[in-house]
Structure 1
């Protein structure tokens, strides 16, 4: 029987056990995995391997400050104004309630109290972790991570993460880490295009090993760092990164770090993806069951050349093929003929809408379409009226040039008056016109990030708080408006944003094979019902091989279907085909958005796809990448996509062909596809008999 304190949190399928270390005043991980994993000696007890390091440096610590953990990476670095640096705390006590745990530690000499917070998420296998720091004297926090996660590995860790650049986001990337440190993050004021605040860790010893995952809920600067420590332990730290390098904590003040969502699945990366999907559905709350309408966005058809007549022509064509929502993108407001002007002056251009914008919106809605609008409320054009009236509202450093990015500047959304302006602008637009959809874009990261005269301010945290305040206002004041999150594509996709939006835009790249790769990575971290995806005419950027219109539709139907092509250039045959695909999508979108999704293969395979299961229906979106390493290289032999998670004893009927398969057949041999140059994608609906 153990002599130290121990606490176990239980999710639907997993257990997470924390103990008070027998070697010092800190909490450490005792066990994490399927129910019952906590019974038996801890597999993470490395604390006595302490040659040339301290016990705290060797321990699977949940959270430790510099001072107690001087060598192997601390999660908290605090300094007094007199220069004393380091924390040596004592355990104060624990508060445990159903699904929640709080462990308090205090350093009376330094004047800091830290609480480690844990909370399970009902209906998921996710545990949320964060910390609360309260000062009794002024302190300087140089590092303030949210939590540390320890993963038991035998021969090293396989890290899976999502990388990229603008137009090539969410690329699934792997790294084998046996010794050393891996770190990723962003200081662009948003999670960024280069990395996603998401990481999966598996043991190198076995293929498809159980997967541990973390995701930082923070739409600002961040880092995730994995360290292969002495003795073979792998420890992951994650947290926000202050723009100023440190945060000043005033006497009596409490700083709460972002939440770190921690997930586990015994079924590898594919199983872990379904844990994250379930968590995304939890975050959507009551909004989950709203029908996500088939969207048409006019940007790729007209760009900045927006006028009522041209937009109505597109809207009529979109309605004819079955679209349910028409979104006018950039270019609808005064002074916006290109990307050099107009931002900040959010009034419809009277020259573009001579009969009034309200009349235009009514005509679109008269076609049976909902109406949506694009905005970029954080940015301002130097020549705008807003900039002339409020030059102090932009981020700037006195005596330094104001650098333009995309010909625009960034508003200091951490200021209350700027937040009030944005809220007032959106209230005016949504109150004056029948707008049911709002696309919030952000195309400009902060560069000269300063607020002259404000002193030492936590600008990154204040901007995030302002952004969230505006989104929270939208959700409360305009609950029926669908909100799409976008930042030059997928630069601001995190759980804080997903909790306040309905869909997000993973990438500005809509080329078919490029988009397939983006979506494959995205669906490892996030659910189909939040993934906005369009059918367009865009040629490939990174993979230029042509794909059929069917491929573009099936690929886009893996999430929330939209169309962005110039429909005026499509032939009658193409419009008729589009109408058929949209009709098929509407028949199964409840399965696509609410079912359990399984990723079948990858874009590196000759055939890949996504399987969705809900009730008696299974929908398979299958795509041929065109690689000649399988059928149809051998004539007469179809390629096959093995399904997963079916009942081997049940029978499944293809509703289009009438063919019936046993579950065992589909699991063992797979679903056959006879690809050809003209047939490179299919959507198969199976009903269980």
Structure 2
């Protein structure tokens, strides 16, 4: 039997092997096609003073016995030590089995590279084939090894509410860098995504992402021998997992990506992968209007219809009623859990209201937060035991609400039935699913024995999303959690779009979307045009700037458009019409990120799949005063992916591909002109 396997992606390969001792699987090489044809860049057979062989080896999945000092992926309270059993392999799939002859634990290491991508998916199936329960103190999904002989440069995304997806970098000469969440969701503080490269080489870059919508952790550790190992997996906030005899546990997918094109190239690898996750649902995302910033909780049929009429007039396609439409919901202290349209707010009936919206030529959408409940609600009065709680301890309110224990079968059924009933009863095309608080109580009343509250909540959440998409395939689902706190690869496979932040201020939002696009494809980026000022960078920007910014993904409008002037409405209609012309290229095109929000040049370039059309969205990031008044040359935006000898036309101006690549597309900023959309057609 062969003990070495290579999986091939579109442009990359991933080679692993079982060494002669058979105790683990280790990486041979990971990179462009042909990288494994030669000595391993991560292999090591030398001395390891005061360590073990496993601590220095590029182990793919290590137990505490194999890697006791440098960090294990799997820690079993009675310890575990594996022996190789067998393997099955194809060109893009691999399953390698190991077993512990003492405690009966079996681990199957799975690998898959989806067709047309350069992302290797890795996950582990653990089965207790012994006679005694096993307690797992750590249950990671994978360890990824990257050669960093000159030191590791790690790119990550930090944040907080209203300031998510802030791209940053740290140099790691030795030691560990870690990010994660204990909130039961990926969280606002960090994104389950890392990029790693050698400090002497900005071109070759490796990335790791985790497909898990609960608590998580990713750690990167560089050893003295120049190897950086990235461990990714669940964070066991509820304590060790218990695996009973005969029980099987499948751990979340950890995804690894490689690009020879730096962070910009790595972003395109993730985009191609997420488009494949979307599958047949990767259709045009509608231009939407959301009522939140216009009316907040003061929802009623008259005000919503007034907004809908204006929205239809400027070219919006879907009208979404946000929070405030259901019984008892006049502020955030009551109503959650009682998901019935308020008859006082819709005196002619909710279906009549929906019909009036649709008569304007608009599709209809609705906001829900079905995992949460207010203490002032009928649901909580009837089922106080349905929320997470610890007996004898007071409950913690966040945003005046509690969190339902979705791991309970009856709660999961209630949540699914509630949303399913809304979709079956009313003519709804779009669902904004929100989640505005983390889990604070680690308990379930009346339960005995160890609990995996985090795992059961996430598992039922996935099942509900999958059931809703199966039974209502026409309904688009937007994932939101007080902004971008629920953004990961697992949700990218189950939701159609993400709401990345509640902050819609122009320059703040530019930084948020810039980081977002490094890890997520444009079809997942929901962005609204509003009147909101920036919280962190309050410098004003034009109406055009806000529209060009929102056009970088899925265009929406969230301002109180009743107060827009006739000139603003006309301008909005022109921008929306332009977006509809370029929407398919934004959704499906190859993305290049040019410059950055902290630089003089900042743009996103989209190259159509047939490579004949280029769309460039550009923004002025600096001070506006003085622009165009003193001698200055245009900002040049170096474009990528163009045929050097071809010619490209924008209006009356023509450029060679070589000029646009080497010199750049010129844009001239003034105090009144701070954003631009340029469309180039190959002649």
TM-score by length of 2: 0.98
2:320 equivalent in structure 1: 327
CA contact 2:625–2:671 (8 Å) conserved in 1: no
Q: By how many angstroms is 1:626 displaced?
A: 2.1
Mark the runs of 5 or more structure 1 residues left unpaired by the alignment. Answer: 80-84
CA contact 2:626–2:671 (8 Å) conserved in 1: no
**Equivalent of 2:603 in 602, 609, 614:** 609
CA contact 2:284–2:587 (8 Å) conserved in 1: no
Q: 1:10 and 1:24 mapped to 2: Cα distance?
A: 24
CA contact 2:290–2:319 (8 Å) conserved in 1: yes
State the aligned residue count.
678
**Equivalent of 2:670 in 669, 676, 680:** 676
1:580 equivalent in structure 2: 574
Q: Deviations over 1:307-328 (max 9, x none)?
A: 0000000000011111011000
Q: 2:320 and 2:240 mapped to 1: Cα distance?
A: 42
Q: Deviations over 1:200-224 (max 9, x none)?
A: 0011012x22110010000001000
2:218 maps to 1:220: no
Q: 2:224 and 2:53 mapped to 1: Cα distance?
A: 12
2:192 equivalent in structure 1: 197
2:446 equivalent in structure 1: 453
Q: 1:180 and 1:356 mapped to 2: Cα distance?
A: 62
Q: By how many angstroms is 1:633 displaced?
A: 7.4
**Equivalent of 2:65 in 45, 64, 67:** 67
Mark the runs of 5 or more structure 2 residues left unpaired by the alignment. Answer: none
Q: 1:649 and 1:402 mapped to 2: Cα distance?
A: 67
Q: 1:43 and 1:422 mapped to 2: Cα distance?
A: 50
Q: 1:315 and 1:678 mapped to 2: Cα distance?
A: 30
2:344 equivalent in structure 1: 351
2:481 maps to 1:487: yes
Q: 1:164 and 1:47 mapped to 2: Cα distance?
A: 41
Q: By how many angstroms is 1:95 displaced?
A: 1.5
**Secondary structure of 1:94's aligned partner:** strand
**Equivalent of 2:590 in 578, 596, 602:** 596
CA contact 1:280–1:498 (8 Å) conserved in 2: yes
Q: By how many angstroms is 1:232 displaced?
A: 1.7
2:510 maps to 1:513: no
Q: 1:240 and 1:4 mapped to 2: Cα distance?
A: 32
CA contact 1:119–1:128 (8 Å) conserved in 2: yes
CA contact 1:606–1:629 (8 Å) conserved in 2: no
1:50 equivalent in structure 2: 48
Q: What does residue range 372-451 of structure 1 map to in structure 2 within 5 Å? A: 372-451=365-444
**Equivalent of 1:295 in 275, 288, 291:** 288
Q: 1:318 and 1:345 mapped to 2: Cα distance?
A: 29
2:176 equivalent in structure 1: 181
1:82 equivalent in structure 2: none
**Secondary structure of 2:636's aligned partner:** strand
Q: 1:29 and 1:672 mapped to 2: Cα distance?
A: 46
Q: 1:448 and 1:4 mapped to 2: Cα distance?
A: 50
**Equivalent of 2:4 in 6, 9, 14:** 6
**Equivalent of 1:342 in 323, 335, 340:** 335
2:619 equivalent in structure 1: 623
2:564 equivalent in structure 1: 570
Q: 2:139 and 2:67 mapped to 1: Cα distance?
A: 14
**Secondary structure of 1:363's aligned partner:** helix
Q: 2:454 and 2:193 mapped to 1: Cα distance?
A: 20
1:363 equivalent in structure 2: 356
2:244 equivalent in structure 1: 250
CA contact 1:91–1:106 (8 Å) conserved in 2: yes
CA contact 2:487–2:498 (8 Å) conserved in 1: yes
Q: 1:453 and 1:422 mapped to 2: Cα distance?
A: 21
Q: 2:405 and 2:45 mapped to 1: Cα distance?
A: 47
**Secondary structure of 1:216's aligned partner:** strand
**Secondary structure of 1:166's aligned partner:** coil
2:17 maps to 1:40: no
CA contact 2:369–2:435 (8 Å) conserved in 1: yes
Q: Deviations over 1:59-116 (max 9, x none)?
A: 011011001211110111002xxxxx32122111211134111111111112211111
Segments of 4+ in structure 1 off by > 4 A?
A: 627-634
Q: By how many angstroms is 1:566 displaced?
A: 0.5
Q: Which stretch shifts more, 16-25 or 568-577?
A: 16-25
2:555 maps to 1:555: no
Q: 2:86 and 2:420 mapped to 1: Cα distance?
A: 47
Q: What does residue range 470-481 of structure 1 map to in structure 2 within 5 Å? A: 470-481=464-475
2:653 maps to 1:659: yes
**Secondary structure of 1:196's aligned partner:** coil
CA change 1:199–1:353 in 2 (3 A) is same
TM-score by length of 1: 0.97
Q: Which stretch shifts more, 501-510 or 107-116?
A: 107-116
Q: 1:300 and 1:417 mapped to 2: Cα distance?
A: 35
CA change 1:631–1:668 in 2 (3 A) is farther
Q: Which stretch shifts more, 169-178 or 88-97?
A: 88-97
CA contact 2:628–2:671 (8 Å) conserved in 1: no
2:280 equivalent in structure 1: 286
Q: By how many angstroms is 1:637 displaced?
A: 1.7
CA contact 2:507–2:621 (8 Å) conserved in 1: yes
**Equivalent of 1:648 in 637, 644, 647:** 644
Q: 1:4 and 1:532 mapped to 2: Cα distance?
A: 48
Q: Deviations over 1:631-673 (max 9, x none)?
A: 757525211111111111000000xx32111111111111111
Q: 2:408 and 2:325 mapped to 1: Cα distance?
A: 27
Q: Deviations over 1:291-313 (max 9, x none)?
A: 21100001000000000000000
Q: 2:478 and 2:247 mapped to 1: Cα distance?
A: 35
